[in-house]
Structure 1
Amino acid sequence: MKKYDVIVVGAGSAGLGSSGVANVLGLKTLLIEKDADNFGGDCTNFGCVPSKALIHIAKQFHQAKSAERFGLKTTGKADMGSILDHIHQMQTFIKQTEDAEALRKKGIDVVIGKAVFDSRNTIKVNDETYTARIILLCTGSSPRKLDIEGMDSIQVYTNETIFFDCRELPENFVVIGGGPIGCELGQAFSRLGSKVTIVNRGDRLLTKEPEIVSDILETRFTEEGIQILNNAEVESFKDGKARIASKENEILEIPCAAVLLSVGRSVNTKGMNFDAAGIELTENGNINVNEYLQSTNKRVYVIGDAAGSYMFSHGAEKMVRQLWRNLLIPIFKKKNTWNDLSWVTFTDPQVAHFGLTEEKLEEQGIGYIRQDQGFGHDDRAIVEEYTYGRMSFWLDDSSSVGGKKILSGSMIAPHAGELVQELELAKHAGIPISVLNDRIYPYPVAARINQKTIRGVMEKTRKPWKLKLARMAFRWLH
């Protein structure tokens, strides 16, 4: 039996981050990954990296077509084979620093094979047994599947297959699911030339965002030719068509050459013999994890998608930092919460959010004031044609106006994910809004909209008596 300080199972974002921290600390570390080609996990292989590369290419198609009103002529259609080859080149470049060979050079032991618990503190891989002081499960998640009548007669993709198998552009593409993956890839394929229909069980796209954000995004999608069917489900596939039923029992049949399933993700838990390790599962099949990311086996921790809370690669990064802080400083331990989480949906326009949602603020009894701001009179938005943009701040309600601090923020606009970063920094650093109000932004940078929104808060304090007093002071002094 080989002994280690730390065993990490899974080489995705959480596993790479955790093994890297342990190695830097000088701890004897073993990283186990069942697939030699899967280093980097979902983000590098099937998620963030390939999807953002595809979105980048699709945006170039859209911009070229948009320029036709100014005289540009465009012909041809997307060559999916060339697009996928380009995406794979980008992935190969990124993976050079995170594959098994690169990690071994850093001093991390790496074993390729399926990890199975042999007891509460031992894991067996390829007939070899390993033990450690702590074991970190970073096993990730997989796309949730659906069983729909006639599905075997149609080409079905998930985010794990589409970047490898979709080498021909589908003429009619049905996207099932109105979450971030469905919205991002649906818009990308529409811009590449597919006729896209998004079939969504919910009453709007991106249901965790404010309703106004969903409305704006749906309007933009519709203007680009994407058909959105909310409150609807695919009942069956037959003869190259999808049969769709709405909640009002209306039936619609549309042409369908291929389908993308984007209906959520399931935690990977199968085949690891958790019973031998004393690791319990919840009723819905997730690993039972407490607020400190600890399983029912006190020596086994769960981070990343496997923890079953928020499934983002940067969420895994957040958990890695939190876990290692708690392991090294076990007093005043930090809980795993949504409080400091942010996310971006990389549609065009982008949708960005940081901090607790308004619903969560109310659930936790946190007092706030809300400030909304449209982009209709923002000069940068006018010249670049995104006056539809909108943002909202949630600020604490317990300080003077200038001393108020940002609790949360939401924005829909091109590059919204970049624009909110200074606001998120202000939130984390506890910077009062007066600091942002007093800044001089170069004209006409897009981030001036942040200051404009803050000034909307400040202007609410300009009472008539204050203005009268200011006039009197001016006339007396001058």
Structure 2
Amino acid sequence: MKNKKLIVAVLVVAGLAAAYLAFDLGRFLNLEFLKSSQRSFQAFYEAHPLTTVAAFFILYVLVSASSLPGAAVMTLAGGALFGLTLGTLVVSFASALGATLAFLAARYFMHDWIRQHFRRQFETIDEGIARGGRFYLLTLRLVPIFPFFIVNLLMGLTKMRTGTYYWVSQLGMLPGTIVYVNAGTQLAQIESLRDILSPAILGSFVLLGLFPLIAQQAIQFFRKRKIYRGWHKPARFDCNMLVIGAGSGGLVAAYIAAAVKAKVILVEAGKMGGDCLNTGCVPSKALIRSARFVQQAKDAQSLGIGKADLEFDFAQVMERVSRVIKTVEPHDSVERYTKLGVEVVQAKAKLVSPWEVEAGGRRIAARAIVIAAGARPFVPPIPGLDDVGYVTSDTLWSIRTLPKRLVVLGGGPIGCELAQAFARFGSQVIQVERSERLLGKEDPDIAAFVQRALEQDGVTVHTGREAVRCERAGETRRLYVKHVGAGQAGAAREETIEFDLLLCALGRAARTEGYGLEELGIPLSKNKTIETDAYLQTLYPNIFACGDVAGPYQFTHTAAHQAWFAVVNGLFGGFKRFRADYSVVPWCTFTSPEVARVGLSEDEAKAREIDYEVTRYDVADLDRAIAEEAAYGFVKVLTEPGKDKILGVAIVAEHAGELLAEYVLAMKHGIGLNKILGTIHVYPTMAEANKHAAGEWRRAHAPQRLLGWVERYHAWRRGPAPEAVVRLQEKA
């Protein structure tokens, strides 16, 4: 359908061009014809004024809508026939309507095909249009050196609203229309279109075209003044940058700012390292490693070992987790950052003005502030939850007794990782997920594979279930769940789950309360994160936010990624600003097997109507995976139809997080599957899976016709077939 529209558009344009040339229509749309026919036109207009105006209006709309040359001459004709006032009125509305029709034609016939082939480029363009499209269009309209028909066609490919396009075009083309119509009233003195646009007039138009940009800067200036009105800006600042929060985003922000010799103050009320070090990434991966060893011992027979006796004390396992945290702690310590030149204030921060923060009994003035306050586990308002008690990913690490029966609420990455780990230690784990599948951000085939792996390790998975309430009777704790969407009948058939410990793993909510956002009026997004622009600026241009508190991703590596943009824009934004780049964001869920992804999933591609091809390689065929007893999982690559350009990759396999790195690099730097296939990979390694996946793509796109001719060539090179030789000998 998309290609048919484009073909129709090409045929229509070709037909119009052919007719224009065949019938020499250009002779009616030039200055000489207009001047020679002026008296005839004038006489007809005097005899039939309404008919002339209507016919002229319709013809002008058709010429401009079809992007045919001649609009300038017709504008002169409007002045010559109707005078300055009526001529300007008729031409102004006719040109705006014709331009809008051309805009709509480009959108209908070309939009889908163009955007399919240049998706990423237009995503950037759309963001620019959303921010300042009206100013850009007004600039283009005010400067007549930009061909208007090109503006019509290009703007039709964007997401600008039709109404906006019409009124901006009407306003932007008005000055040029007046100049041309006025010239038309003096038609006898015009020998060439160049007589109308002298260098002086063109220069005036250029200055006029710059006016919207100047106006935009002025609007931003007055907007800043309005935002900061009522606040007293300090005459002197204690530091160039103050960072709130010493998690992954805050630490990277402080490190970068200190590296470029800025005076930096880092404020943290809790432990240095934030959630990732103390309650998130580091402890969870330490726990998963111990659980994996327990499972490997259980699977000893698969490695040719008859029996592996294993004894473990769960308390010792948790002590090891604490030891791992302490080993990593120096990387994020006060001592290290002090040596780097960062002043660390261990106290609660409170924003008291756009430039000032109260912390540790001090009032600190900073030119720029970066908020990296992180997030906390989300605890649902389930009746009775406080009565039965619960743990979260923050508080889990204090337990020292392995729960016999564990209920995990949530089927996201945290829930899946911890459910599998505790099942491997020997807990009876029941995982409850409201959606119809685990890992809702992954494709159904990925989620199903992980669910089977969890179930093989002993996890009982209940999807499509909603927690209704909790009850406690003595030492007995119960969770009541019902089928989602079951209505009253489903509520009557509630299921009861008894447990010893309940883990809430339902995602994390940004920390946005308690440090002055409300007092400063800094707004939140619909996702309850701090609202920022593309440069990570909040309502106040000198206050930035990064990491979990800003979204849209809640990963340690994206927090560090955003920190760079927040710092550079905060320190050097007066010279050059950088938009945060989320074009290639990878992530990994550390279940066994791991799930790693970058770019588009199939579900996302379908939702965004992006055409794609799928190439899949089964890890069961990989030599190293077979040797490791890890011959399960697959690599799935999405590419543009008929091309090796990578749109997205999903890997479910052991060490998927490491395997993904090659694809992240490829997508970031525009490397296709052909080049991955042509890269030497060490044998035998798991990384060969990437090369084999590229090989699968290549086989599916082999040039069969060419290979057929090559086969004939090789047969000819081998000489005639034996039976043909015998026949030749008999004839001889």
Q: Where does 1:79-98 land on structure 2 (aligned, <5 Å)?
A: 79-98=313-332
The one-letter amino acid paired with 1:58 is: A
Name the CA distance, whole Å, in 2 between partners of 1:293 and 1:357.
26
8 A Cα contact 2:368 2:543, kept in partner: yes
- Which residue pairs with 2:100 in the alignment? none
The one-letter amino acid paired with 1:144 is: F
C-alpha offsets along residues 28-73 of structure 1, whole Å, 9 cap, x if unaligned?
Answer: 11101112xx101110000000000000000010001111564214
8 A Cα contact 2:600 2:638, kept in partner: no
| 1:242 aligned onto 2:479 | yes
Deviation at 1:146, TM superposition (A): 1.9
Name the CA distance, whole Å, in 1 between partners of 2:453 and 2:574.
49
- Which residue pairs with 2:433 in the alignment? 200
- Which residue pairs with 2:594 in the alignment? 350
C-alpha offsets along residues 116-171 of structure 1, whole Å, 9 cap, x if unaligned?
Answer: 1111211111331111111000000000112323323434110111112x110000
| 1:13 aligned onto 2:248 | yes
- Which residue pairs with 1:108 in the alignment? 342
Query: Does the residue aligned with 1:294 lie in a helix, a strand or coil?
Result: coil
The one-letter amino acid paired with 1:119 is: S
- Which residue pairs with 1:266 in the alignment? 509
- Which residue pairs with 2:450 in the alignment? 217
Q: Where does 1:299-314 land on structure 2 (aligned, <5 Å)?
A: 299-314=542-557
Equivalent in 371, 378, 386 of residue 152 of structure 1? 386
Deviation at 1:413, TM superposition (A): 0.5
Give TM-score scaled by structure 1 length: 0.92
Q: Where does 1:37-116 land on structure 2 (aligned, <5 Å)?
A: 38-68=271-301, 70-76=305-311, 78-116=312-350
Relative to structure 1, the CA distance from residue 284 to residue 207 in structure 2 (aligned partners, 3 Å threshold; closer, same or farther) is closer
Query: Does the residue aligned with 1:462 lie in a helix, a strand or coil?
Result: coil
| 1:23 aligned onto 2:267 | no
C-alpha offsets along residues 231-258 of structure 1, whole Å, 9 cap, x if unaligned?
Answer: 1122223333322222242422232000
C-alpha offsets along residues 63-115 of structure 1, whole Å, 9 cap, x if unaligned?
Answer: 01111564214254x42321121111111111113222221122211111111
8 A Cα contact 1:10 1:31, kept in partner: yes
Residue segments in structure 2 that go unaligned for 5+ positions in a row? 1-235, 719-732
The one-letter amino acid paired with 2:293 is: Q
Size of the aligned set, in residue pairs, is 470
- Which residue pairs with 1:394 in the alignment? 638
Query: Does the residue aligned with 1:408 lie in a helix, a strand or coil?
Result: strand
- Which residue pairs with 1:125 in the alignment? 359
Equivalent in 160, 168, 175 of residue 401 of structure 2? 168
Query: Does the residue aligned with 2:262 lie in a helix, a strand or coil?
Result: coil
Q: Where does 1:426-441 land on structure 2 (aligned, <5 Å)?
A: 426-441=666-681
Relative to structure 1, the CA distance from residue 322 to residue 477 in structure 2 (aligned partners, 3 Å threshold; closer, same or farther) is farther
Query: Does the residue aligned with 1:190 lie in a helix, a strand or coil?
Result: helix
| 1:380 aligned onto 2:624 | yes
| 1:280 aligned onto 2:280 | no
Deviation at 1:361, TM superposition (A): 4.3
8 A Cα contact 1:282 1:288, kept in partner: yes
Q: Where does 1:176-195 land on structure 2 (aligned, <5 Å)?
A: 176-195=409-428
8 A Cα contact 1:11 1:32, kept in partner: yes
C-alpha offsets along residues 367-422 of structure 1, whole Å, 9 cap, x if unaligned?
Answer: 533212223433333343444312211223475xxxx3323210101111111211
State the superposition RMSD in angstroms. 2.2
- Which residue pairs with 2:238 in the alignment? 3
Name the CA distance, whole Å, in 1 between partners of 2:634 and 2:450.
11
The one-letter amino acid paired with 1:47 is: G
8 A Cα contact 1:293 1:302, kept in partner: yes
Q: Where does 1:327-338 land on structure 2 (aligned, <5 Å)?
A: 327=570, 328=572, 333-336=577-580, 338=582
Query: Does the residue aligned with 1:97 lie in a helix, a strand or coil?
Result: helix
Query: Does the residue aligned with 1:208 lie in a helix, a strand or coil?
Result: coil
Residue segments in structure 1 that go unaligned for 5+ positions in a row? none
8 A Cα contact 1:338 1:355, kept in partner: no
Name the CA distance, whole Å, in 2 between partners of 1:361 and 1:335.
24
Name the CA distance, whole Å, in 2 between partners of 1:237 and 1:470.
75
- Please say which of residues 468-477 and 359-368 is displaced more in the overlay: 359-368
8 A Cα contact 1:232 1:246, kept in partner: yes
The one-letter amino acid paired with 2:339 is: K
- Please say which of residues 418-427 and 359-368 is displaced more in the overlay: 359-368
Name the CA distance, whole Å, in 2 between partners of 1:13 and 1:89.
20
Give TM-score scaled by structure 2 length: 0.61
The one-letter amino acid paired with 1:162 is: L
Higher alpha-carbon Rg: 2
Query: Does the residue aligned with 2:401 lie in a helix, a strand or coil?
Result: coil
Relative to structure 1, the CA distance from residue 182 to residue 369 in structure 2 (aligned partners, 3 Å threshold; closer, same or farther) is same
Deviation at 1:333, TM superposition (A): 4.6
Query: Does the residue aligned with 2:482 lie in a helix, a strand or coil?
Result: strand
